[in-house]
Structure 1
Amino acid sequence: MDIEDSIFNNDSIFMRSLLGKKVQINTVNEKSYIGVVYVIDPIFKTVVLHTDWKSANEHETVIILHHAIKSLEKLSDEVEESYLLEPIISVPQSVNKKTVVKKWLKKMMIDVKESGDYLKIDDHLLIVPPYGPENCICNNTIILEKIQKILQSLPEIKV
């Protein structure tokens, strides 16, 4: 059963782009929440929002289920750095790691394409900076685990 997704359009890149950004979510029961997106579950599309935000450690946490979301509006493109899992790495370092990972996947006979800063495998899996096994996004757990194991077998490199 495939449910239509009018909020996120089943776009994991869009969902990830909202992390650490200030949004307003209006629900079907006419409640409105303004806060910083902590995480979005890419499978169930549940949003964890930090409201009454004073700092990364001082806030209220609200969990909003996908079926309750009527609309979502991004209020700011500014990213709260403390919400990012990995520190932002420099562009040359990121490009070098992306190239190494892409070559490794091709050596393992996996068709991988570049899509901006991301690496894509057959529209099923996305690898985001800094291109480690924990940076894979995929709805299919079997594919996800196989690609993560391949990335874990990548020889250590100096970047």
Structure 2
Amino acid sequence: MQCGWPLLGPLQWIRYVNKLVKVKAGKDEEHRGWLLTVDPVSASLVLVNFGEGEGASVQVVMGHAVEEVEVLQEANEEITDRLQASFLPPRNRTRLDPEELRRRRGGVRRWLEKNRVPVEEEGGELRVAGVLTIEAPYGPDDCRSSNQIILDRIQKLIHIQPDHPDSDPDRPC
């Protein structure tokens, strides 16, 4: 890559994402890692290096200091998945049998209906008022919505649900 990294812009930077890169920055500085993203304002690079197990280290190289970026390797599917999952919250990794999932889905649905919240089942998900989705295993962290107010209220409601594995009876409403 030529000089002027900050001047390239997002359409050029995207070509480097999910690739192992070598970045020359400043006086005799060199950084290597998988390019996760580039900040569109500062042109700073976010590099990820995977350690033993599931650990990862993150390094930010400031865009104004970048002199050269060289692609060393393309990412395979496994590396791409690891990069995408690096900053996602940890999911409940325990596997629940279909009967337990059905029981939880039904319990959450009944609880929401009891609290006069419109809810319907769509496959294995619950759909609330057409704007929120609750996925398995049907806890507060399994709710998805672009409406933050509804998301917060439904999460709190599920959290105080009696007999729900994620409920906290001592938590104030």
TM-score bracket, shorter-length normalisation = 0.5 to 0.7
Structure 1 unaligned segments of length 5 or more: list them.
Answer: 1-26, 36-47, 64-73
Paired amino acid for 2:18: Y
TM-score by length of 2: 0.49
Q: Is the 8 A contact 2:124 2:136 kept in 1?
A: yes
Pick 1 or 2: higher relative contact order, CA cutoff 8 A, min separation 6. 1
1:130 to 129, 137, 152: 137
- Note the alpha carbon deviations across 1:116-158, whole angstroms, 9 max, x for none: 2221113311111211112211121111111112112211258
Q: Residue 55 of structure 1: SS of its match in structure 2?
A: coil
- Match in the other structure for 2:94: 88
* Distance across 2 between alignment mates of 1:50 and 1:115: 37
Structure of greater Rg: 2
Q: Give the letter for the 1:102 counterpart.
A: R
TM-score, normalization by structure 1: 0.52
Q: Does 1:31 align with 2:11?
A: no
Are the counterparts in 2 of residues 112 and 120 from structure 1 also a CA contact under 8 Å? yes
Counterparts of 1:153 and 1:142 in 2: how far apart (Å)? 17
Contact 1:136 1:144 in 2 (8 A): yes
Stretches of structure 2 lacking an aligned partner (at least 5 in a row) = 1-10, 21-45, 61-75, 83-88, 166-173
Identity of aligned residues (%): 24
Are 2:128 and 1:121 equivalent residues in the alignment?
yes
Indicate if the aligned counterparts of 2:134 and 2:143 stay in contact, CA closer than 8 A: yes
Q: Once superposed, what is the RMSD of the aligned Cα atoms?
A: 3.8
- Which of residues 40, 53, 56 is equivalent to 2:54? 56
Deviation at 1:104, TM superposition (A): 0.9
> Contact (CA 8 Å) 1:127, 1:136: kept in 2 or not?
yes
Q: Distance in 2 between matches of 1:95 and 1:101?
A: 10
Moved over 6 A (4+): none
Superposed CA deviations along residues 7-36 of structure 1, whole A, max 9, x for unmatched, are xxxxxxxxxxxxxxxxxxxx642214059x
Q: Within 5 Å, which residues of 2 pair with 1:1-159? A: 28-29=12-13, 30-33=15-18, 52=50, 55-57=53-55, 59-61=56-58, 75=77, 84-90=90-96, 91-157=98-164
Aligned CA distance change for structure 1 residues 136 and 50 (closer, same or farther; 3 Å):
farther
Question: Retained in 2: the 8 A contact 1:134–1:148?
Answer: yes
SS of match in other structure, 2:18: strand
Mapped partners of 2:136, 2:48: distance in 1:
24
User: Residues of 1 paired with 2:111 and 2:51: CA distance?
Assistant: 42
